[in-house]
Structure 1
């Protein structure tokens, strides 16, 4: 019986009032309704603070300064760290790395034995603690402004008055110099400035009590300023009906200006009006952030960790010169796990993989800096170690060219020499560091960034691979390249084969857009056309991908789920664009790996499963289980290996299930259960498109597309076998045919896509209906 062939006819109609514009006007309201109900709730104090890994206490951050809260009600400790507070000593994990600055202690002895209740809010990030005894209830609201490196802790009490003592302290050790003064302001410093360091790091913090005098009486504001200048401002009485604010400022020598004087001046000038304005600015920043996109899938557990992950990423990733360390800006010891550095073999890259699709590209702004700063050293290694052009990266680096793996950690074989980085047998690190730059390119087509940063760096990576690849018997072969750390002299491992396909394709696309290096494209295309195929393996009656053509054939269990799928995600070599037999191999591969609870693989395995169309019910069931079993009360998912890379797992997986675009084709709901409702707004797609859609009754309800750069748009017909109509705000009608169609767009154009015969008014009704449906499901 022959197959029926359907032709999709697309009619493009002029419509000045696009439904997308109407939808955009409600983004803020929808985001508030969805996100504001999620928070982390603590009914007992955290138990894993301090730690050299991810803490389990309430978390705060403004993208640079991070705060972790711990302790019983009578002694609350605020651990303070900062993205640029690194000890710049080159060597192994017992030397340099991100360090704890210090903290603030709040003692209220009357709260001994009090009931503990703390909320960590997501929509307007703050931590609100309520401690209750039979006599008093003390409330502490803590938050960080988004425009300045300040910390505010607001205290109030009902019932009987309580005595409060606040102390500011700096961590000691590791050869630091510290200073502490108790003058009109509390002031402490911690400094790493010995001659053996690559560069000095120094920080200062000042604390002021606003609202009480040494005798515990509230001070009345006089002409916008508090007149209190007492030397004992760390001790005060908290009276019912009043409010006391502990205000702290922190700065380092890596910030601009005279940092010690700056923190003194800033807290000294603060008024209640200033703080109120900063709170309004803080709320506005986050309202704008959440209004950039949203997803709604009818599962409050997954949604809570989706938005919690984005909140935490935004809380640790806004310092453009100093990205978050491996455990973010929530450092609570001086010996962060795995150096706390920027691991180049996936940890540094992974945190931002959900930022691009969720339309929070700006969070990835800090990513490039340490990579670019290490280029000269990486060139040295490429030349001296492998006699290649280009760059060769060790497994770990730090900010501003810092080497963190000159000597291996305990339990690892020694390097050949003291002046040699640690590579663990992997040649893929430099190529891996391009992944986020390439994602930014395809999702934004920000050619200024490509011209100044991504493309020049990518050329250095390609220079290396042009020299290192061996062309034999009509194909390019990768020798002596460990698929795992210290796995041996593997040949053609699947990670590097995936990366080669990604970087050479991106180089061609970038060079075309920039109009440069046309003479090199023939070589790059030759590599793409002749790179070795992925090796295959029969396992339990199924064909799966072999980890390397020669060397490691298979590995499941701890860590196996991470490397096993990286040729699918994030490199994008395998996906729904492939032949059906390849897609089936990929699905069988995921089944065989069974990496749903992998020590390192959360940021790769789930999104890889979504990329190849794996059973969506299995993905969602396991993802929900991970949120429940691996999700901490502070909304940070943590399996034990690494740190902030886990913030991408939930976000990128859900986004990939709802919308795919990696092959320059928009696919809506490609991996979504037919019996589950969902909707999303302004997810970012390859081609610089913002896409919105809804799913109900087993089919898409509408598609809304905002073209930022006016690129051609290719869409897989969401209504297979049916004709579709496109309403455009900028051009006359045209008719196209095919299940996958391509049409031109213009910059800023907004397009509505619907099944043929469905009017714009009907689409508007569908948008409202889906809002009502998802609202009911959320109750």
Structure 2
């Protein structure tokens, strides 16, 4: 079309303002520099102990490396070892480390007590290879890169990381040998499992102070695994260095440009883009489920996959950010392990039901206890993957049969009460009263998930044309919705369950599921809104157990109510709980909370639950300017919008699937439309419009004021002016805020950026 959006984004410059930076050496996982390619990763930091001040650690990880425990249970993830840059002198201050987001590379300039070293490191975006490039001064020519199995890492360094007594660490037999010009490090775990690390260092006689190390990690220690890993290194090292680096960068450049967000809160904007970097560093379409650590395993009690919140929240930002390929790793896991899920339930239910435990390994096998809603919640993520893509094959082949089996387990457990209503037996509402092993009948968590499941199955069966074929079970779903006991409520708001009010601090939002993330209620009418606000206030009146994900879910809840100031306050509070490198940690490292905070930022800019797209639905007053481009919504629409001087200037909507489009613009007065001659615009009340868009068609909406457009309209377009997407100006003091801890930058001190 003639009004194509003009992209004024200088991507390298824009992302550079949010690079993670260190001028003081990081000395822990909490502030390390992280790199990864969705399977292999490294957390990079140093050590303060005088015996190890010359070491820069690359704490390595490969997501799929697990080990069987002698006593049974699911196989947890285990550490795989470290690569150490052992310098001649001590690492000294000052130094400079930067994670270059645009190129997904770590760059460092290190001054030691005897010389200097330049380091560039990245995990190749396509090849399973970590590359470390060194340039040393003459005094540091003796610096060495050494690999250590986890069991060989010096106790001084392990002490710095701490030890979690709940974490299983297998006994490992470690051997080394050479193969061609490569070194092979084997770890054979007892009683089962193993890991192979292979590396090769290259030097050029013309550049004696420059060298490159290529390293790969493979799951398993068999000879065939070793051969495959050697082929990976051989392929990487055989290519021109410049060409190979460019192929790495190209993937990331394409990835970032799938959507764009810029807001006037520079710290939150930087945090958002680091989460986009973190997502693609943690998994890929063909990668593993995002677990609690991603490829940066550290001492933890949670060396597995958790489904009572963690996985669901970790994937929450992929949908609106138009990065559905990241969500494919979750889809793939459930496709491949579909047949494992019935076995998690008691035998009596396996014929027609499936379940998902609180935690397990990547095979999704572990018995389901009294926390029974986790599979239905995962189906909500898969539903979002479907709704944002409109991939009918996903709905038919995976989501519908999986959700059907998940809901069927609930139906087996329903009992008729004296009131004639259908009730659920005592179950766990995630994270509430865990130390008491508390179960509660008719939990909000399970009732909300069951309601959502039945409604979604009815809708899905219609989409798939199964009304007649599935008539009997459709009748059961409808009857369940009609007779299901209402969500328990008291004077404080939504309760945990029947006869169980919220009596003490509760970090989880399991008693608010009906609003977020399921959106069964909208808060559009006064009674609903009052109930939600009452619940939110009571929840936060108890400070006993507020954690990171408490604030992110509260931010998304407030955003769903259109409360931008409150949502912003929750997010700003959350910024005090994360680590300097934007990671998050409780008893161990966990991935979900920062990623869920990215979704909360998206929820302030764009929402599409229900049947309506909402543009800038929860913007705080101080965000007079904001812009996003190619964010995705339910119904498979790409939406771009610009907010200027406190008002929406224009909105671009592109239909990818030809679905009905209902959009709340937030614009005041008459709304103009440009482009899409066949598109029909029907303006309703409160700035809501209905648009008839064919697949591939796009239009721009803009506010008319006394027949004068508040943004470039048809008159300007006729003169070949275009609609512009460009970043909001940044606060220079808050650029490069993350990496090392820099709280003084919040207060405008004269720091050179």
Query: Shorter-normalised TM-score: what interval?
Result: 0.7 to 0.9
RMSD: 3.0
Name the SS for the 2:311 alignment partner: coil
Aligned counterpart, 1:283: 249
Whether the 8 Å CA contact 1:110–1:162 is kept in 2: the answer is no
Name the SS for the 2:442 alignment partner: strand
Count of aligned pairs between the two proteins: 690
Aligned counterpart, 1:225: none
Provide the rounded CA distance (Å) in 1 between the counterparts of 2:484 and 2:504: 26
Aligned counterpart, 2:218: 251
Name the SS for the 1:86 alignment partner: coil
Provide the rounded CA distance (Å) in 2 between the counterparts of 1:193 and 1:446: 44
Provide the rounded CA distance (Å) in 1 between the counterparts of 2:18 and 2:681: 45
* Post-superposition CA distance 1:290-343 (Å, at most 9, x none): 11112111111111111111211110111636223321111145xx322x2111
How far the C-alpha of 1:276 sits from its partner, in A, is 1.8
Q: Give the one of 574, 597, 607 matched to 1:626.
A: 574
Aligned counterpart, 2:172: 176
Change (3 A) 1:772 1:80: closer
1:337 aligns with 2:301: yes
Change (3 A) 1:36 1:560: same
Whether the 8 Å CA contact 2:285–2:326 is kept in 1: the answer is no
Query: How do residues 142-157 of structure 1 correspond to structure 2 at under 5 angstroms?
Result: 142-157=121-136
Deviates more, 1:740-749 or 1:114-123: 114-123
Aligned counterpart, 1:462: 407
Name the SS for the 1:393 alignment partner: coil
Query: How do residues 694-713 of structure 1 correspond to structure 2 at under 5 angstroms?
Result: 694-713=642-661
Higher relative contact order (CA 8 A, sep 6+): 1
How far the C-alpha of 1:688 sits from its partner, in A, is 0.7
Whether the 8 Å CA contact 1:681–1:692 is kept in 2: the answer is yes
Provide the rounded CA distance (Å) in 2 between the counterparts of 1:132 and 1:150: 27
Whether the 8 Å CA contact 2:79–2:150 is kept in 1: the answer is yes
How far the C-alpha of 1:536 sits from its partner, in A, is 1.8
Normalised TM-score (structure 1)? 0.82
Aligned counterpart, 1:415: none
Provide the rounded CA distance (Å) in 2 between the counterparts of 1:772 and 1:83: 35
How far the C-alpha of 1:471 sits from its partner, in A, is 4.3
Provide the rounded CA distance (Å) in 1 between the counterparts of 2:149 and 2:502: 48
Query: How do residues 643-662 of structure 1 correspond to structure 2 at under 5 angstroms?
Result: 643-662=590-609
Whether the 8 Å CA contact 1:84–1:254 is kept in 2: the answer is no
Name the SS for the 2:205 alignment partner: coil
Deviates more, 1:464-473 or 1:143-152: 464-473
Normalised TM-score (structure 2)? 0.84
Provide the rounded CA distance (Å) in 1 between the counterparts of 2:517 and 2:529: 16
Aligned counterpart, 1:86: 66
Provide the rounded CA distance (Å) in 1 between the counterparts of 2:235 and 2:691: 57
Whether the 8 Å CA contact 1:312–1:636 is kept in 2: the answer is no
Query: How do residues 27-66 of structure 1 correspond to structure 2 at under 5 angstroms?
Result: 29-49=9-29, 55-66=30-41
Aligned counterpart, 1:3: none
Whether the 8 Å CA contact 2:196–2:218 is kept in 1: the answer is yes
1:187 aligns with 2:184: yes
Provide the rounded CA distance (Å) in 2 between the counterparts of 1:352 and 1:269: 32
1:723 aligns with 2:680: no
* Post-superposition CA distance 1:738-763 (Å, at most 9, x none): 44332322111111111244323558
Aligned counterpart, 1:693: 641
* Post-superposition CA distance 1:382-422 (Å, at most 9, x none): 3437798412332212112443xxxxxxxxxxxxxxxxx36
Q: Give the one of 425, 430, 449 matched to 1:479.
A: 425
Q: Give the one of 713, 716, 726 matched to 1:771.
A: 726
Name the SS for the 1:246 alignment partner: strand
Change (3 A) 1:480 1:680: same
Query: How do residues 84-483 of structure 1 correspond to structure 2 at under 5 angstroms?
Result: 84-89=64-69, 96-113=75-92, 115-133=94-112, 135-158=114-137, 160-172=139-151, 174-182=170-178, 184-192=181-189, 194=191, 201-211=193-203, 218-220=204-206, 242-253=209-220, 258-268=224-234, 270-271=236-237, 273-318=239-284, 320=286, 322-333=288-299, 336-338=300-302, 340-372=303-335, 375-384=338-347, 389-403=352-366, 421=367, 423=369, 425-472=370-417, 473-483=419-429
Provide the rounded CA distance (Å) in 2 between the counterparts of 1:250 and 1:31: 32
Which sections of structure 2, spanning at least 5 residues, go unmatched? 48-52, 152-168, 736-753
Provide the rounded CA distance (Å) in 2 between the counterparts of 1:375 and 1:269: 35
